[in-house]
Amino acid sequence: MKFSRRDLLIGTAGVTAGIVFTPVPWKLLGDVSIWSQNWSWIPQPAHGPVETTLSPCTLCAAGCGMRVRMAAGFPVGISGVANHPLTKGALCTLGYAAHQLNWHPARLLRVRHSGRASSWPEAQAAFAAACAEGPIAVMDGRPGRAASVALETFAAKHNGSYQTVPGPETQALAPYAAWSGVPASTLGYDLENARTIVSFGAPLLDGWGTPGRFTRLWSARAAGQSDPQLRLIQIEPVLSHTAARAWRWLAVREGTQGALAAALARVLVEEHLVKAQGPLPEMTLEQAAVQAGLPIAEIRDLAHAMVEHGPTVVITSDGDPAVAALNVLLGAVGTPGGIILKSKVIPRHGAASTAPAKFRATVIDASVPWDLIPPAQGEVFRFATWDGGDSKADWLLPSPGFLEELTDIPTAPTSATETYAIATDLLAQPQETQTAAQFLRKIDASLPDVDKSIHARCEQIFQARLGTIYAGQSKPVAQFESAAKLEEQLRKGGVWLSEPPRNATLHCALKIWPAAAATAPAAPTDWTSTWAPPVLPPLAAKLYQESTVREAPARRLA
């Protein structure tokens, strides 16, 4: 029997007819669709239960309370802690994506020396050699931490200098500190008792200070009220988000806020709107008004509005003394609703030591802002978690990332109450990383370790028997049985708050009206300026790229 072409055709027809009665076409049709629902190149989340832990945020000095959801050993979501005494359940905008930062493409996981790959032993050797040769500077961006103790001790023991790099919010308090003779770190803003807040460009509603503190306050006392309990007057050249929502917005000419402050001072004193008689600026009202580009009537109007509804406090984003002096005139330094001394301060190790002229090497802790340009001399050992780009450092040393390090969080710069919190290492510290304190301990094993310093601090708080611990609910320190119990509570995400602030009057020795800051200091230029890490979480692109609600930032993104 010969197989013909015709047979082939008929056979094929038979197969075709038969295949319809098998699962082949139908199962394939379904499975191919399911395949399109499960493409292998599309990541899917891990399976398994989710656990929730509390921890303070370690990204900036504010130390907001976070609720961290963990699955399969990784954080999968961050939210605020409702009723948290500092943050009232809020976080900053980008904090909600902070758990993604550890995988940021700019994450540093290799030691780099002069732009080339290097190793920890080499860095260690280079630093040891430098230590042997000359004085060392150690720079700390967030003094008062347990790690700061190690940094400071090291500097002291090795003929070095411990220098702190104050953040913008501490810097803004510096004039008052200078005039009243107390450290800036002991000052804070009594926002809760203020009824008028005049902000010279401070992004109060946009991540200033501890974000939730002011936003909640504003929301309850100002938002949507035609005659608000809390008047927010924003003085800023552009209509920023804070300006848009302020009770009043005054568009001052760029870089002339000092002049406006002078004009206001003139009106306040000359029209006896304040008790103070001086000091008075040299500039006349007319001159100042011309500089600021504002009609005199408007300035006078503003001055009246400032005192109409006291207490009033003036807040600047940059610590311009000419603006700060307004608070002295207003009597807002050392009075409720103004700039006040923090509640009873539990003594900590001292402040920055003075700097010798020359250093053989500088160690920069990861807490120091990336854009700080280190002193030119000497070899720079820069600790950082992310590569913010364009580094001047000789050594780039990878630090543990978000939630990868045990650290404590001392009082936030703007806070009126002293606080303390502990962030445990919820994630294992990557082997490629070291903190500056760990690094220095390898040179000098006698340095106090972070764990011990935290114990000591908890012991101190326990002994002082002051304030309360908030962990879901408040419990007075006096009711704790032991320092260990207190520490345990703090390690579970609790926060210690000292007593309410003191009403200690501060005497400001301000005789002559200060000159406006010589060079206009870097006021917040974009909305990312309140964000401490040198990189933004990739999801920030939702705001600057996938919507029009924000201007694109100058900061490095992904």
Partner 1 sequence: MSARYGMVIDLDRCTGCGACMIACASENNVPPAAPRATWRTGITPMLVHTLSNGKEGVDRREAFIPIACMQCEHETPCVSVCPQQAVELDKSTGIVMQMPQRCLGCRYCMTACPYHARYFNWWDPQWPPGMEHSLNPGVSVRMRGVVEKCNMCHARYHDALQKAAAAGKKKIDLADYVPACVEACPTGAIAFGNLADPNDPVTMAAKSPDAFRLLESIGTEPKIHYKTTQAWIRALADRNSGRPTEAQHV
Partner 2 sequence: MSETALIDRRWIARDAERASTARFLLWLFPWVCLLLLGIYAAGLCFYYGLNQTNMDNRFAFGMWIFLDLSIIAMGAGAFFTGFLVYILKQTDLKPVLNTAVVVGLTCYSGAVAVLMVDVGQPLRAWFTFWYPNTHSMLTEVTFCISCYLLVLILEYIPVLVQNRQLRRVPSFLVFEHQAHKLVPVLAGVGAFLSFFHQGSLGGLYGVLRGRPFAYRQGFAIWPSTFFLFILSAIAVGPSFLMLVVAAAEKITGQTLVDFRVYRKLGFISGVLLAIYVAAKAIDTYVWLNVTSPRLGFGPWDYYSYWPFSSTFLFAATVPLGLLPAILFIVPRTARHRGLLLLAAALTCCGVLLNRFVMTVQTLALPTLPFDPFLKYIPSWQEVATFGGVLAYGVIVYSLSYRYLPMFEATKGEAKNVSLD
Partner 3 sequence: MRRVLLVFGIGFALALIGGWLVFPRVLYLEKPQPFDFFHKTHAEKSGLTGCDSCHIVGSDGQFAGIPRNDVCLGCHSDKLGKSEAEALLVDNYLKQGDQPEWLIYSQQPANVWFSHAIHTQRAGLQCADCHGNYGESDQPRVYEVNRITGYSRDIWGHSMSRLRRAPGDGMKMTDCEKCHRRHHVEVGCLGCHQ
d(CA 302, CA 271) in angstroms, rounded, equals: 13
Q: Quick check: 35 binds partner 2 (CB under 8 A)? A: yes
Q: Closer to partner 1 by CB, 481 or 546: give it.
A: 546
Quote the DSSP letter at residue 333. B
Q: Closer to partner 3 by CB, 36 or 226: give it.
A: 36
Touching partner 3, residues 156-175 (CB under 8 A): none
> Coil, helix or strand for 398?
strand
Q: Quick check: 4 binds partner 2 (CB under 8 A)? A: no
Q: What would the two tokens of residue 299 be?
A: 């300035």
Residue 242 partner contact from partner 3, partner 2, partner 1, none using kind-dependent CB cut-offs of 5 to 8 Å: partner 1
Touching partner 3, residues 15-54 (CB under 8 A): 15-19, 21-24, 27-28, 31-32, 34-35, 37-38, 40, 44-45, 47-50
Q: What would the two tokens of residue 189 be?
A: 């803003």
Q: Quick check: 226 binds partner 2 (CB under 8 A)? A: no
Residue 29 partner contact from partner 3, partner 2, partner 1, none using kind-dependent CB cut-offs of 5 to 8 Å: partner 2
d(CA 165, CA 138) in angstroms, rounded, equals: 10
Q: Closer to partner 3 by CB, 17 or 376: give it.
A: 17
Question: What is the total count of residues that contact partner 3 (CB under 8 A)?
Answer: 30
Q: Quick check: 50 binds partner 2 (CB under 8 A)? A: no
Q: Which listed range, 35-43, 73-81, 296-304, 525-533, lies at the site for partner 2 (CB under 8 A)?
A: 35-43
d(CA 523, CA 530) in angstroms, rounded, equals: 11
Q: Closer to partner 3 by CB, 35 or 103: give it.
A: 35
Q: Closer to partner 3 by CB, 14 or 278: give it.
A: 14
Q: Which listed range, 5-13, 229-237, 263-271, 417-425, lies at the site for partner 3 (CB under 8 A)?
A: 5-13
d(CA 383, CA 439) in angstroms, rounded, equals: 10
Q: Quick check: 32 binds partner 2 (CB under 8 A)? A: yes
d(CA 315, CA 453) in angstroms, rounded, equals: 34
d(CA 266, CA 291) in angstroms, rounded, equals: 14
d(CA 77, CA 73) in angstroms, rounded, equals: 12
Element (H, E) at 78: strand 74-80
Touching partner 3, residues 50-79 (CB under 8 A): 50
Torsion of CA 243, 249, 253, 257, to 10 degrees: -90
Q: What would the two tokens of residue 365 be?
A: 């802790």
d(CA 367, CA 138) in angstroms, rounded, equals: 12
Q: What is the DSSP track for 99-132?
A: GGGGG-TTB--S-EETTEE--HHHHHHHHHHHHH
Give contact residues for partner 1 (rule: CB under 8 A): 36-37, 39, 41-48, 50, 69, 71-72, 74-80, 89-94, 96-97, 99-100, 102-105, 205-207, 211-212, 215-216, 218-219, 223-226, 239, 241-242, 244-245, 249, 251, 537-543, 545-550, 558
551, 155, 502: which is closest to 341 by C-alpha? Answer: 502
What is the radius of gyration, based on Cα positions, of the chain? 29
d(CA 303, CA 261) in angstroms, rounded, equals: 10
* Closest CB 228 distance from partner 1, rounded Å: 10
Residue 443 partner contact from partner 1, partner 2, partner 3, none using kind-dependent CB cut-offs of 5 to 8 Å: none
Alpha helix (H) ranges present in 331-387?
none
Q: Which listed range, 25-33, 175-183, 187-195, 337-345, lies at the site for partner 2 (CB under 8 A)?
A: 25-33
Residue 251 partner contact from partner 2, partner 1, partner 3, none using kind-dependent CB cut-offs of 5 to 8 Å: partner 1
Tally: H helices and E strands in the chain: 15, 21
Q: What residues make contact with partner 3 under the rule CB under 8 A?
A: 7, 10-19, 21-24, 27-28, 31-32, 34-35, 37-38, 40, 44-45, 47-50
Q: What residues make contact with partner 2 under the rule CB under 8 A?
A: 29, 32-33, 35-37
